[in-house]
Amino acid sequence: MVLYLIHDNAVGFSLFEVKEFDEAQAKVKQIQKQIIDFSSFSQMCQLKAFHPFLSADSARDAAQNVGCGELTEDLKNFIEENIPKSKKKGKIQIGVLDSKLAQKMNDQLQYETITGDIVFELFRGIRMHLVNFLKNENFKEEDLIKAQLGLAHSWSRNRIQFDVKRQDKPIINCIAVLEQLDKDVNTLCMRIKEWYGWHFPELAKIVTDNEVYTRLVDLFGPKTNATQDMLEKVEEIVIDADISQQVIDAAKTSAGQDLSEMDNTCLKELCGKIIKLIDFRKGIQSYLKSKMDAVAPNLTSLIGEGVGAKLISHAGGLSNLVKYPASTVQILGAEKALFQALKKKANTPKYGLLFHSTFIGKADGKNKGKVSRYLANKCSMAARLDYFLVNPTNRFGERMKTQVEDRLKFLTSGGESAKNIDAMQEVLEELKQENLYVESEEQLKKKSKKDKKKKKKASVEIQELEEEVEEVEKKKKKKKKASVELQELEEEVAEEQVEKKKKKKKSKEE
């Protein structure tokens, strides 16, 4: 029995022949010993044919197709040209690493294929001594290394280009940066309040917002600068006129200690850096909003870009979030609490990241669980719509938002809430009227199949009607023929009667 091995590498397809191979008697340890030395391995395994790739793109496509278990035309032609077909079963076998590819070769080319530990060891030997085998083909070790490196880069670029998560990754990084910035800004603002509080303690009670407090410290410096002349500048920062007047009045009667020049310069620099971080955070927030509107418009319009991005980030991408049921989406971010509750046999958590949504805050204490369950259901639907819609739109998310608001009203004061099927049907009708609804390929295929079935049914009905008409016409013809025959018979009977009368008259006369 002859065994052929098909090996794909960065430079091309190669075919190796293993003569007098017996799978039953072959042992893995013996082959492993023979693999080490090229001279002994080359006696057992010989290069029979080699098909080089003409370009880097063809090498990448071949590696991608073989990796997915697909039999390409180049590989099919290469096998048919170099491997003879045997009438006797079991005389020629082909060794392949991928079981899917082996099945395709068996079905399409009618070759007997094998996979297993022994074939794997033989391929390991081929990879080890590939440069020595390809010396006759004018290939050097440097050429093989360059080809492998180029194929690796091309493969990586192609995978990144067609990665389904490539749009989700900026969102995941954005929300991580925002969370880190929030922590840093809060920590630094706390330090400023504590530091500046020794000089002007009343300011922290009047102004509670961190950004406004930092901007006022940067504006004032020593509290002696907070005079009536600076009221307009203070109003630009605080916006509220009454609070601005309170700040200036408090600065005049403050009981804090004096601020040294060194402390003032340090606080000024720290405030400047915090203000830059706050402005940078606003830029990141606007970028996240635009990105979420493009990637998940329905989820964004339902619960906002912040909570939506947190859900996508925690799930590891929109494609992963789509796979989760609504019950999992409800407790995303509360895994520790869930496992502790299961361990202690206590009540499981009602919500995780969805707690940050405004809908949960609006709900009463007894209704929070119901609202979170209902909201998780809508989030799951919105994520799936965002992932599978051909033309993305936020109409479904807006309609779901009104549904959640109606549900809140229903739980608090009663009333009616629209069914989900009716709500989604209304949105579809609106999109169809505005010519924004585009059916997917599957829906178009289903429609075409239905149309074909209808046409077939109509043609069958037409055929049946035509056959019925033909039968009626045949019956009519038969009736006409029968009526003609009856007339002829009647005429014959009448003639016979006339002749009989004539004969009677003749007999009487005689």
| Cβ pair 218, 268 in contact under 8 A | yes
Mean pLDDT of the chain: 85
pLDDT band per the 50, 70, 90 thresholds, residue 303: very high
Assigned token pair, 394: 């936020």
Q: Per-residue pLDDT for 424 more than 80? A: yes
> Looking at residues 227-252, what average pLDDT do you find?
89
Nearest of 37, 39, 35, 48 to residue 78 by alpha carbon: 48
Nearest of 260, 293, 134, 244 to residue 142 by alpha carbon: 134
Alpha helices (runs of H) in 168-260, residue ranges in sequence order: 168-197, 202-206, 210-220, 231-238, 241-252
Identify the pLDDT of residue 68. 75
Identify the pLDDT of residue 462. 82
Which residue did the predictor score with more confidence, 59 or 87?
A: 59
Nearest of 100, 118, 97, 117 to residue 108 by alpha carbon: 100
C-alpha dist (Å) from residue 428 to 47, 264, 344, 381: 63, 62, 47, 15
Assigned token pair, 444: 């178009």
Q: Per-residue pLDDT for 25 more than 80? A: no
Q: Per-residue pLDDT for 20 more than 70? A: no
pTM above 0.85, yes or no: no
Give the distance, in angstroms, between the CA of residue 99 and the centroid of all CA atoms in the same chain: 27
Identify the pLDDT of residue 290. 92
Q: Per-residue pLDDT for 85 more than 80? A: no
Domains and CATH numbers, the chain: 2-161 (3.30.420.220), 170-290 (1.10.287.4070), 297-439 (1.10.246.90)
Find which of 57-71, 74-88, 448-462, 465-479 is predicted with most confidence, using mean pLDDT: 465-479
Share of the chain above pLDDT 70, in %: 92
pLDDT for 154-182, tens place per residue?
A: 777 776 655 555 678 889 999 999 999 99
> Looking at residues 451-466, what average pLDDT do you find?
77
C-alpha dist (Å) from residue 155 to 58, 97, 132: 11, 20, 26
Identify the pLDDT of residue 490. 84
Residue 376 C-beta-side C-alpha neighbours within 13 Å: 23
| Cβ pair 90, 112 in contact under 8 A | yes
Q: Per-residue pLDDT for 72 more than 60? A: yes
Look-up: residue for tokens 């995303």?
A: 332
pLDDT band per the 50, 70, 90 thresholds, residue 443: low
Residue 83 C-beta-side C-alpha neighbours within 13 Å: 30
What is the C-alpha R_g of the chain?
43
Of the given ranges (133-147, 183-197, 333-347), which has the lowest mean pLDDT?
133-147
Task: Give DSSP secondary structure letters for 270-333.
Answer: HHHHHHHHHHHHHHHHHHHHHHHHHH-HHHHHHH-HHHHHHHHHHHTSHHHHHHS-HHHHHTTT
> Looking at residues 76-96, what average pLDDT do you find?
78
Query: At residue 380, what is the residue type?
Result: S
Residue 398 C-beta-side C-alpha neighbours within 13 Å: 6
Q: Per-residue pLDDT for 418 more than 60? A: yes
pLDDT band per the 50, 70, 90 thresholds, residue 449: low
Identify the pLDDT of residue 285. 93
pLDDT band per the 50, 70, 90 thresholds, residue 90: low
Identify the pLDDT of residue 135. 77
Identify the pLDDT of residue 433. 82
Q: Per-residue pLDDT for 337 more than 70? A: yes
> Looking at residues 60-64, what average pLDDT do you find?
81
Question: Positive or negative, the Cα torsion across 78, 82, 88, 90?
Answer: negative
Share of the chain above pLDDT 90, in %: 30
